[in-house]
Structure 1
Amino acid sequence: MDLAMAARVLITTDYLRPGDKVDRLLREHGLEPIYSPSRGLRTPADRKALFDGAVGAILASEPVTADMLAGAASLKVIARSGVGYDSIDTKAAQRSGIRVCNTPGVNHDAVAEMTIGLMIMAARSLPGVIQSVKDGHWPRTAGRELRGATLGIIGYGPSGRAVARLGGALGMTVLVSTSHPDPSDPAVRFTDLHTTISKADYLTLHTRSDGTGKPLIDCSGLQAMKPTAILINTARGSLIDEEALADALTGGQIAGAALDVVQDEPLTASHRLRDVDNVLITSHLAGQTIEARERAGVAAAHAVIDVLEGREPTNVVA
């Protein structure tokens, strides 16, 4: 194999650029970063050729299928510059001997702050108020306080824990549904999934999908929520049945929702949720702070370097 080809590391994460800290780190280890930023769906031909000549890859959240990996003859490691890896066919990667890593713990504070921010925006109807002021009006909309409300958290990894701490600091009652409860935490009440969903004034998701392809929050989950509740998702779009959510929002079944992630990104022009007034949608920004981006990029680069230099990486998912 050509040495220059063997040293190539594909980078699709759009905020990583030539000359930055990650670029310099890879080059210090004799690797050649090759940039192909992820900005929406690639053509079939581009997807098929994405990994050509690459021994490593630092990827955004775009899909990586078995067909794409079948032609990746030299690829040894994929590192996600983030936590979620649902978009990667990890079984196909394992069959091809490709290690898959992620970078947990680098953006949980950023995600938690965004989650609380979305809750406040929804509770105070801020997007509508801001737009109304721009349109020349002066609305005096009465919102709701977070203090005294019940915060329901599904999932208790780093992001869920960070949200729980912030919610507690704001004077909220914190309920958590998780398969890994921490009884030593006196500020949190661990409950079953139904209780968390049904008691929450603000229900926020911080978990992975269960691998079955079924959404965590479907028609029955939405029906179990309070009619005054707000649903927040900064985790994965696949966790919510979006058609059922649109029905619940337009029918007054729940008061509102705030989504930083959707099933198919970017949100299509014809998506039903675009025409729903009581939903806030942001463009997958929860973990996108300057500080978190640098930590994620450097952690992903170290994972690639470790595998290529024969060491066991820190966070292996496949």
Structure 2
Amino acid sequence: MTKTPGSIMRAEINEAPARFAAMVQRDLTSALNPLSLDKVRAIYSVARGSSDAAANILSYEIMARLRLPMTSLPPSVFSLGNGVAMEGTLGLILSQSGASSDLVQACRGIAENGGQTLLITNSAASPASALAQATIDIGAGPELAIPATKSVVATIAAGMAFLARLDASYRPACEMAAQAMLAMTTRTIPNKAALEAALSEAGSVFVIGRGCGYGAAQEMALKLKETAAIHAEAYSASEVLHGPLQLASNPLTVLILDTGENRVQDSLNTAETRLRGVGARVFRISPADFGVTDVSPAGAAAILLAALYPVVHDVTLQLGLNPDTPENLAKITDTV
């Protein structure tokens, strides 16, 4: 227990913008030299929890820029099964600790099945890094609160820097994202108090996004669950209009994460209209609310998370819980 509940998580949230800005502008040429990236025809991410949400964010950005398919593989394909053919692919393993048994086995299994392996981690001296062909150390520094915050945005930054190494024209987007993120240190969500009040009273929460915003929605739903013990589910703005919409028959709070992508606006608008129409309490958050425009979708997703982590922190305290140490969780979860 900490002397002041939430003080550790609060300090790490405050570090997040600088950690993101440093990582997203890093030149990864030497780190990626062991890989033959010109031979990659598809990318498969392997991750769990917040790292998997970061991978989802990155997948939309990477596919849009490189036009290479990128999707996730469950670690159990390698840890419990015999793996899959990986020739011509890059296995992108994302793990803050690099220590979970299933991810370590996945790293080994990808290589054994013909794939290249790249690890994005906050622990360069880890079992997974000993196996990976190449490692990106996100440089987030020690993260002592159980809920991950600064390491998540730094992981997104690492993926963006990786993309800039493959597509030099993406480098300006990384620089703009760094500047926008650093500006966030003096800005807050305009309706923060109302959002916190709604979340504190919520029985169930939908967090909705589209494109890179969907991965951000996954991370925010996870944070509400693991930190504040609030039942929250993430949905794509398209998927929520099918079966999940019926849950709005009961009181429902909805948080829409809008990355500002033009192509997703119609989808988000439709979801917002439908959910408001059935009585849900809807909050829509965009980087434009803080004066941030012209940032890449992945950068916008990271900015939304950095802006919303303080909300989760404060709501958790309002509910009488300690965000530093959720009682049923551990910092490293070892799964097989």
Same fold (TM over 0.5): no
Select the structure with the greater relative contact order (CA < 8 A; seq sep ≥ 6).
2
What's the TM-score, normalizing by structure 1?
Answer: 0.35
> TM-score scaled by structure 2?
0.34
Q: When you count helix as a share of all residues, which structure comes out higher?
A: 2
